[in-house]
Amino acid sequence: MASQLDQLKQFTTVVADTGDFKQLSQFTPQDATTNPSLILKAVQKPDYAPLLADTVAAHRGEALDAIVDQVLVRFGLEILKVVPGRVSTEVDARLSFDTQGTLARARRIIKLYQAAGIDRARVLIKIASTWEGIQAARELEREGVHCNLTLLFAFCQAQACGDAGVQLISPFVGRIYDWTKKAAGSAWDEAANAGVNDPGVESVTRIHAYYKQQGIRTEVMGASFRNVGQILALAGCDLLTISPELLAQLQATDASSQPVQKQLGGANIGSAAPLPPLTESAFRFALNDDAMGTEKLAEGIRAFAVDSAKLDALIEAQR
């Protein structure tokens, strides 16, 4: 019996969105993504307590931020034993407005992977899609360090990432959906805003079409899904990063009764004139003009920063 997950893999590269690497093998994803919240969730599970303790013990006496990076890379190394492709490892969200700080942490993370024998092509450095983060990614890409620009909500963020030549972006489907639904209040019609009409799906579809129209090499990876319908509506996107819970739903659904249809790419791309590269001031004004993008980017950075601080505290307690 072919599952929806099997069929989805015919159109899209499936990526697991988790730090819990012991869950990965059952879904056979190509890549995996992590973030501070996912790593924090994983290290608090009994299965991973020894990994955290061993890593902290091996680097006791080093600076806290250096030990944190060792922990992140240790999880990444375990993930790379399971997936054949790439792992995304995130730079501390508290550096989201610090280009030089982001560069320093990114370079250290990639060096740790290389010291462990991992080719840098198998690692994506995950950075928030602020102006400062995008400029750090521009420089890293010049150095041959590939990046995943995350917390992406507004089209101007995607455009700036394309201008910078980053390897991959992660537009957040579910959080766009959340904001739009909340803003609509009692006027929200769930049925009318489902599937291809979901506001998060529409955002990714627009970005994907623009990149393909303009020949921009940056990969588009839909992220932050709330339900299987959002995932299926983006079949054909370059990549989709999916939580284990939703991967399990896709795997359990018989595709013969509910087949997956390709939605993005091909004749759906259309055509459009290229946009001029964004200056810093134009980017900041466009983001400011997008209430959803502004609010969700700030909220996402705050949430990841809180979880980064919690991870710091767990490590500090064992130093």
> Which residues are marked as active site?
126
The helix (H) or strand (E) run that includes residue 15 is: strand 13-17
Residue type for position 96: S
Residue 39 three-state SS: helix
> CB neighbours (10 Å) of residue 55?
21
CA atoms within 13 A on the CB side of 296: 26
How far apart CA 39 and CA 92 sit, in angstroms, is 12
CA atoms within 13 A on the CB side of 317: 9
226 in Cβ contact with 190 (< 8 Å): no
- Closest Cα to residue 16, out of 79, 70, 59? 79
162 phi/psi in degrees, rounded to 5 = -65, -45
How far apart CA 184 and CA 182 sit, in angstroms, is 5
Distances (CA, A) of 160 to 17, 135, 155: 24, 9, 9
How far apart CA 163 and CA 166 sit, in angstroms, is 8
Q: Is the dihedral of CA 3, 5, 8, 9 positive or negative?
A: negative
- Closest Cα to residue 168, out of 225, 53, 88? 88
63 phi/psi in degrees, rounded to 5 = -60, 150
31 in Cβ contact with 239 (< 8 Å): yes
Residue 59 three-state SS: coil
